[in-house]
Amino acid sequence: MSDHERAGETEAPRVDLTTPEGLIGETEEGGQELLARTRTTTDELAREKGSVLRVPEAMPGDPAHVDVEVPDDETMIINFGPQHPSTHGVLRLMMELDGETVIRSKPVIGYLHTGMEKTGEELTYQQGATNVTRMDYLSPLTNELVFSLATEALLGIELPPRAVWIRMLLAELQRVASHLMWLATNGMDLGSTTMMIFGFREREMVLGFFEKTTGVRMNHNFIRPGGTAADLPDGWEDDVTVIIDTIEVRLDDYDQLLTGQPIFRERTEGVGALTAEEALALSATGPILRSTGIAWDLRRTMPYMEYDKVDFDVIVGTFGDNFDRYAIRFNEVRESIKIIRQVLDRIPQGDYRVQDKKVTPPPRARIDESMEALIHHFKIFTEGFKVPEGEVYTAIESPRGEIGCYIVSDGSAKPYRMHIRGPSFVNMQSLPVMLRGGLVADAIATTSSVDPVMGESDR
C-alpha cells in the first residue's frame, strides 16, 4: 500500500492548489494512482464523472446521479492491468468498485515510456522516421507519414504525384490492417475467438504485402521525408487487388458473425456511451468522436495529400456507445477499400521521391559515375539535411484519431523539438467517463473500444 492510500484513510490535509507553493507541495511526492475519496470535497465530487478527471461545470452532467454518499468501506479499489491480456498492452486501470459497478476509474500509464520525443531530438530528420514508426506499432506507416509531412512542410518541398499516391495507398492499407487487428482483439475481449483468428488472418495478408514492399512487416521506415524509400514492387496491383477483394468478401462474413450476433449486440449496445459534448471537451478524436455523431474526419474536413480527390464516406454513429464505435471501424475498412480501388485506377507514373539532392540520396548508380553524387550521398548519411528554422504542426487522421506532429527546427539537421500528439494518449481520457456506472465486465469491452496502443500513448 502506498503512502498515498494510507494518507487517504486518515484526514488528508487539503492543499491549496491555486498557489505555486501549494502546487509544488502537491506534486513533489504526488502519486499517480487513484486519489483517495477524502481528498475530494462534496462540491467537486458532485461534478466528478470520472476519477481525477473532474468534468467542470461548463459541461452538462447531472449531479444527482453522483453517489456522494458511498462510504469508503463498501467500495473496493482494484487494479486492472498492467499485465492483463485485455488491456491491449501495459495499460493499468485503477477502478473503484461498488459491488460490480465501476464508480471511478483512472488510467495509469507510462509503463512503456521510452523517451521517444527526447530520442527524436538526437536523430537527424533522415533517421527520425525510424524512431517515430515505433510509437504506434499497429499503424507504423501513419506515424512515418505525419513526421514526413511535417518535415516536408518545414522544407517547403513538393512531392511528385506518384509519391503522394503511394503514401495514400499505404496509409489506407494500414488503416485496413489496424482496424482488422482491432476487430480481432475486440472480438477476443467479447469472447469471440473466431473473430480473433479471422482478423489476424486477414491482417497478415496486408502485412505480407508490406513485407514485400518495405522489407519488414512492421516498423517499416518506408515513408521518409522527401517521398518513400522505394517504388512499389512489380505486380503490386495484382497483390493489392487480391487482398482487398478477399477482405471485402470476408467482411460480409464478419458482419454476420458479429453484427448479427445477439450476444455481441447485447454486450456492446448502450455500453460505454459518450455524448458529443463530452467527446469534444475531452479532445477525443477518430472513431470515438465520430461515434457521437460529429462527422469529423481530417481526410475530409481538413484534407491533406490527395484525399480531396478521392471519393469516400465519413462513417458517423449516433449513440456514442461501443456498438457505434465497432460499426464505424467496421465500415471504415470498406471505405478504405473504396479509396484503395481509386488509387489503383488513378495512380500516376513518375518518381517515388523528390529529386532534390539536398534531401534525398542520389540513385545508387549515380554514385559510381559522379563525384558530386557521392558527396551528396555522404553528406546526407553522415550529417543529414538541414531544415530551415521554423515550427509546424501537422495533423492527419490515423486509425485511432488525430495524430499530430509538432516540429521546431533551429536550422540544423536535427529537430530542436519533436512532439507527437498521440491519439491513444488523448483518447484515454474519455475512458473514466465511459466506464462510470458500468459493470466490470463491460469495462473490458469499453477499454477495447477506445483502441489504445500503449506504445503511442507512452511514447
* Site residues for other proteins per CB under 8 A: 17-20, 23-24, 26-27, 29-32, 35, 52-56, 58-59, 109-110, 113, 115, 117-119, 122, 153-154, 276-277, 280-285, 292-296, 301-302, 389-393, 395, 402, 404, 406, 408, 410, 416-417, 419, 421, 425-426, 428-429, 458-459
Tell me which residue has cell 512487416.
Answer: 217
Q: Please state the φ and ψ torsions of residue 108, each to the nearest 5 degrees.
A: -110, 120
Tell the smallest beta-carbon distance from residue 264 to other proteins (Å). 27
Q: Do 330 and 178 form a contact (C-beta atoms < 8 A)? A: no
Map residue 192 onto helix, strand or coil. coil
**CB closer to other proteins, 111 vs 200:** 111
Q: Do 314 and 168 form a contact (C-beta atoms < 8 A)? A: no
Tell the smallest beta-carbon distance from residue 54 to other proteins (Å). 5
**CB closer to other proteins, 118 vs 346:** 118
Nearest CA-CA partner of 276 in 433, 397, 423, 404: 433
Tell the smallest beta-carbon distance from residue 118 to other proteins (Å). 6
Q: Do 449 and 272 form a contact (C-beta atoms < 8 A)? A: yes
**CB closer to other proteins, 12 vs 440:** 12
**CB closer to other proteins, 91 vs 240:** 91
Tell the smallest beta-carbon distance from residue 43 to other proteins (Å). 13
**CB closer to other proteins, 140 vs 404:** 404
**CB closer to other proteins, 236 vs 416:** 416
User: How far is residue 52's CA from residue 104's CA, in Å, rounded to a whole number?
Assistant: 9
User: How far is residue 47's CA from residue 427's CA, in Å, rounded to a whole number?
Assistant: 21
Tell the smallest beta-carbon distance from residue 419 to other proteins (Å). 5
Tell the smallest beta-carbon distance from residue 410 to other proteins (Å). 4
Write out the three cell numbers for 365.
548508380
82 upstream amide cis, omega within 30 of 0: yes
**CB closer to other proteins, 41 vs 349:** 41
What is the distance in angstroms between the CA of the first residue and the CA of the last residue of the chain? 28
DSSP 278: H
**CB closer to other proteins, 30 vs 208:** 30
DSSP 65: G
Map residue 76 onto helix, strand or coil. strand
**CB closer to other proteins, 197 vs 295:** 295
Q: Do 102 and 70 form a contact (C-beta atoms < 8 A)? A: no
Tell the smallest beta-carbon distance from residue 139 to other proteins (Å). 19
Tell the smallest beta-carbon distance from residue 421 to other proteins (Å). 4
Q: Helices 322-346 & 161-189, crossing angle to 10 degrees?
A: 150
Tell the smallest beta-carbon distance from residue 273 to other proteins (Å). 15
Helix (H) or strand (E) holding 421, with range, is: strand 417-421
For the chain, how long is the longest CA-to-CA vector? 81
**What is the amino acid identity at position 392?**
V
